[in-house]
Chains A and B, each alone.
Chain A
């Protein structure tokens, strides 16, 4: 067993920002973690170079999501739209940091979103993703949600309604992910769901017992769900079934497998907290 004796030190949390609603949830999660772990919050807005490139194409058209109207896509319009998004993202980051009295910074880079975030990962301990650049999937849970109360709940109005989900396989990074998920759930005053990949009931019970004991020491509890495998599709189904507010993910292969990460982000439907 590789249970951590102390919370892994987290000094810098990067959150990938854009104007989408899901990015608000990512910002909430990142800010909550920064507050819980007393880390610096770094906002990273990536001007998607692929969008810029698309806008330069002579036939480029944009179909409005709300209006379903097809219109000409101009480079200048795209640049202005991205700058505006960056301004809005910075404002939201500043507001979230001020509310929790966080140290923060904001960067705008141009490039491929995932690549840019991974570049920024150097020197960061956690990265929080909203969605992938080519994500076209967006679905929301029903508006009905549990009642809460207090300023903390209001501050984490997205996170507090649904559980924080993490994947726990007993590895050292899984323990780190559990600790991060626990800190986020405690800060947002929401529930914690632990997905445990296990081939059989015995293995599931053992890992559950380990994690439960660790949580009980911290006066916490969690819902445990057995996963029959660690494949992304299995994890994705479980996360969506739990209607997770955020997924704390520790897959060591993810940073290296951008295509897999992109696929995960495109279908996850909630922020992803990547524990490095």
Chain B
């Protein structure tokens, strides 16, 4: 069962620079589009194309895979051809001031209406005073005034005359009126009055009581007359104001007769002007006082128009991105201003949200940002469900604040929302939020890896060119482009794939550009890309260096030569942010008589993850099924990841653990010059694992540091062989025969390679030849089983002796 070493060309899949139809990216003019995301692109096309309720999109996939770019490019093609949704504005509701009216206006007419209303107020400020200063008004008002003055005058005059006839004066006091008898034209003194005969006094008092009763009646009438006078003056004012305002309003109504609700609104304006005409005759600035004072305040703000959304003619459907999707930024808000220690507002302080701006078009939001904002998700769902934008204050909703606020009329909503986010968010929302599947019926799933074929290399080359041009980088020559593509395959962790993480590729290119410019070159070459890759690695390499230093110093025990039974080099990967590296880990196994249990020390001390434990249980099952079919599995074994002090997770060491166990059982030493990675199933088949490149390079670096002796190498699952995109130094060592990589498919291949002893195939009875690893393992297990049986047979006799002793 000879396992062949992988040839150098199998360790790396090159990108042939000759396949590009350009020498440098500067020659590429064709715009690159997302490729290899056909499923996601199709979903996006479908999602933005379908005009049905609930067909909003959730675009998912890893960061940097071009989700936004693709969606924006599709929308940039589609939205301009769609009709502009028109303007939205809020106006004062003269009937219910706390409920501003929403006005839907054709494109561009929101601003026009605002200007028209400003002009109307200006004109009324000039016209109304002129009307009230006119001779006609003065005369008619004077007539009314004169009529009532005469009425007052006559009433008081007649009463005064009646009193005077009795030699009694009608006098004004600080608070009202009084009567007093006169003597010689002056009010009689108390002494003189006292000196009058009793009959005279009684007569005067009776007359005064009678006059007082009449005066009381006059005063009551005066109140009524004043009310009548005010009413008539008001009616006159209405008539005159209507004359002043009617023409202007009629003109505006004609201008906006085709716009729903505006003529009705103008009627209300006219009525309000008539009822509050005094404000136009007072000396004040047109802007009036602060907001929130409602219809009672002498303010012209209420005749203004708050244009929330302004569209451009031919501008197409709006495409808006909301980077800070708070509840208020999405739904809009009503602002307040402090005035005399209280918070006031009016319709002019209504501010639009992203939904207003995107109404009639498309709104792009990051799902994570949306979900972490309090009530933003609920607000968005409510708007999409009701198809209305209803501005509500969060503080009001939850009773946190109690101040004057508004309840603006809801605005009909017709928007397609595109959420961008991780898959996990999509799945969680789908599972736990019953509204989500109803509102977001289209999912566009962006893959993090793309298939790599000659054609896709060429398309990727155009993408690299587009990135260079978009980011204003120096031109990349074809070798540099090829190197970028090769690195993309390395990022994908699979030579047959390319990374969809455009952001990572873009960053690498920017850094390569930097190095090229630093060297004074106008064109980026493969060397610059290589330097950028090395620099990236170097910047993140501190921890790897420290760990490798510990191994090389002997603090962490790793053998890279010699042989030893029950000891093997496993390979562990550490993921630190976006940087991953590997290091060898010594795994040891001990075996003894027991009850068939393999003790995973990592698990016992709760430093082993579930998947790792699963791997250990699988190899236990493999051992029992293969070697102890017909007898008790009387093995006790311990497996330890030596000198690890953190959590061990994953099953990629299960092959190494099984080999260590077999070595211990068979008492056959393992070559320490080899490291092993791979998982096994219950049948002993080796299964692919992740990060094969990093693991090989991790062991290679230790071996190289100690000196490559031509014996060292790494065993990887055969399933990982096509993934390899190894570094040049590893490939060179392999080519020189100083390092080796073996692809194994079965544990027998691995143990044979590790021990140099044939694994041994089972015969028809399930037995193995004695001079094979399997034969020795089977024999050891048989011995243990027999010993176990003997011990079990002795146990009843001992038990009887112990019982007898007690009696």
Which residue from A50, A59, A68, A269 sits with its C-beta under 8 Å from B187? Answer: A50
B283–A241 contact, CB under 8 A?
no
Interface on chain A toward B: helix, strand, loop, or mixed SS? loop
User: In the assembly, what is the distance between CA of A54 and CA of B216, in Å?
Assistant: 18
**Known contacts A59-B205, A85-B174; is-contact A54 B281 (Cβ 8 Å):** no
B146–A56 contact, CB under 8 A?
no
Give chain A nearest CB distance to B791 CB in angstroms. Answer: 116
Give chain B nearest CB distance to A102 CB in angstroms. Answer: 24
Say if the beta carbon of A62 comes within 8 Å of chain B.
Answer: yes
Which of A117-125, A138-146, A180-188 lines the interface with chain B?
A138-146
Contact with A along B225-243 (1 / 0, CB 8 A): 0000000010001000000
A243–B142 contact, CB under 8 A?
yes
- Residue ID in chain B nearest A52 by CB atoms: B187
Interface size, chain B (Cβ < 8 Å):
52
Which residue from A53, A64, A112, A135 sits with its C-beta under 8 Å from B176? Answer: A64
Say if the beta carbon of B160 comes within 8 Å of chain A.
Answer: yes
Interface on chain B toward A: helix, strand, loop, or mixed SS? helix
Which residue from A53, A63, A137 sits with its C-beta under 8 Å from B190? Answer: A53
Say if the beta carbon of A134 comes within 8 Å of chain B.
Answer: yes
A134–B281 contact, CB under 8 A?
no
B281–A68 contact, CB under 8 A?
no
**CB neighbours of B220 from chain A (8 A):** 68
B176–A65 contact, CB under 8 A?
yes
Which residue from B152, B172, B233 sits with its C-beta under 8 Å from A134? Answer: B172
A137–B177 contact, CB under 8 A?
no
Which of A32-40, A148-156, A167-175 lines the interface with chain B?
A148-156
User: In the assembly, what is the distance between CA of A51 and CA of B212, in Å?
Assistant: 16
**CB neighbours of A51 from chain B (8 A):** 171, 173, 178
**Known contacts A19-B174, A139-B148, A243-B142; is-contact A267 B153 (Cβ 8 Å):** yes
Give chain B nearest CB distance to A220 CB in angstroms. Answer: 19
Give chain A nearest CB distance to B23 CB in angstroms. Answer: 76
**Known contacts A68-B216, A147-B281; is-contact A57 B173 (Cβ 8 Å):** no
**Known contacts A139-B148, A148-B283; is-contact A134 B132 (Cβ 8 Å):** no
**Known contacts A70-B216, A145-B281, A243-B138; is-contact A50 B169 (Cβ 8 Å):** yes
A142–B145 contact, CB under 8 A?
yes
A57–B172 contact, CB under 8 A?
no
B186–A50 contact, CB under 8 A?
yes
**Known contacts A134-B170, A241-B142; is-contact A57 B283 (Cβ 8 Å):** no
User: In the assembly, what is the distance between CA of A141 and CA of B138, in Å?
Assistant: 10
Interface residues of B in 196-247 (CB under 8 A from A): 204-205, 208, 212, 215-216, 219-220, 223, 233, 237
Say if the beta carbon of A60 comes within 8 Å of chain B.
Answer: yes
B171–A54 contact, CB under 8 A?
yes
**CB neighbours of B178 from chain A (8 A):** 51, 54, 60-63, 73
A61–B281 contact, CB under 8 A?
no
User: In the assembly, what is the distance between CA of A112 and CA of B184, in Å?
Assistant: 14
B283–A153 contact, CB under 8 A?
yes
Which of B172, B177, B212 is packed against the most chain A CB atoms within 10 Å?
B172
Give chain B nearest CB distance to A243 CB in angstroms. Answer: 7
Give chain B nearest CB distance to A169 CB in angstroms. Answer: 25
Contact with B along A244-264 (1 / 0, CB 8 A): 000000000000000000000
Which of A65, A141, A241 is packed against the most chain B CB atoms within 10 Å?
A65
A54–B137 contact, CB under 8 A?
no
User: In the assembly, what is the distance between CA of A231 and CA of B148, in Å?
Assistant: 24
- Residue ID in chain B nearest A154 by CB atoms: B283
Give chain B nearest CB distance to A87 CB in angstroms. Answer: 12
B193–A57 contact, CB under 8 A?
yes
Say if the beta carbon of B94 comes within 8 Å of chain A.
Answer: no
Which residue from B173, B233, B282 sits with its C-beta under 8 Å from A62? Answer: B173
User: In the assembly, what is the distance between CA of A112 and CA of B125, in Å?
Assistant: 48
A146–B212 contact, CB under 8 A?
no
- Residue ID in chain A nearest B219 by CB atoms: A68
User: In the assembly, what is the distance between CA of A93 and CA of B145, in Å?
Assistant: 30
Which residue from B142, B145, B283 sits with its C-beta under 8 Å from A149? Answer: B283
A62–B189 contact, CB under 8 A?
no
Which of A82, A136, A142, A269 is packed against the most chain B CB atoms within 10 Å?
A142
**CB neighbours of A133 from chain B (8 A):** 171-172
Interface residues of A in 55-109 (CB under 8 A from B): 56-66, 68, 70, 73, 78, 81-82, 84-85
**Known contacts A54-B171, A240-B146, A243-B138; is-contact A136 B190 (Cβ 8 Å):** no
**CB neighbours of B160 from chain A (8 A):** 136
Give chain A nearest CB distance to B381 CB in angstroms. Answer: 53
**CB neighbours of B278 from chain A (8 A):** 143-144
Interface residues of A in 1-55 (CB under 8 A from B): 18-19, 48, 50-51, 53-54
A70–B156 contact, CB under 8 A?
no
**Known contacts A61-B212, A68-B216; is-contact A144 B173 (Cβ 8 Å):** no
A65–B175 contact, CB under 8 A?
yes
Say if the beta carbon of B188 comes within 8 Å of chain A.
Answer: yes
**CB neighbours of A78 from chain B (8 A):** 173-174
A57–B180 contact, CB under 8 A?
yes
Give chain A nearest CB distance to B339 CB in angstroms. Answer: 22
Give chain A nearest CB distance to B402 CB in angstroms. Answer: 36
**CB neighbours of A85 from chain B (8 A):** 174
Give chain A nearest CB distance to B164 CB in angstroms. Answer: 10
**CB neighbours of A148 from chain B (8 A):** 283
B169–A144 contact, CB under 8 A?
no
Contact with A along B151-174 (1 / 0, CB 8 A): 011001000100000000111111
B188–A53 contact, CB under 8 A?
yes
Give chain B nearest CB distance to A20 CB in angstroms. Answer: 8
- Residue ID in chain A nearest B156 by CB atoms: A136
Q: A56-B190, A134-B171 are in contact. List 12 more A-B contacts (CB 8 A).
A: A50-B180, A53-B190, A59-B205, A61-B212, A63-B177, A64-B219, A70-B212, A139-B149, A147-B129, A147-B282, A147-B283, A149-B283
> Can you report 17 residue pairs joining A to B where beta carbons are below 8 Å apart?
A19-B174, A48-B171, A51-B173, A54-B171, A58-B190, A63-B176, A63-B177, A64-B219, A78-B174, A134-B171, A137-B149, A139-B152, A139-B153, A144-B141, A145-B132, A146-B133, A147-B283
- Interface residues in chain A, defined as those with a beta carbon under 8 Å from any beta carbon in chain B: 18-19, 48, 50-51, 53-54, 56-66, 68, 70, 73, 78, 81-82, 84-85, 112, 133-149, 153-154, 240-241, 243, 267, 269
> 6 shortest A-B CB distances, which residue pairs?
A54-B180, A56-B190, A139-B149, A50-B187, A81-B174, A144-B132
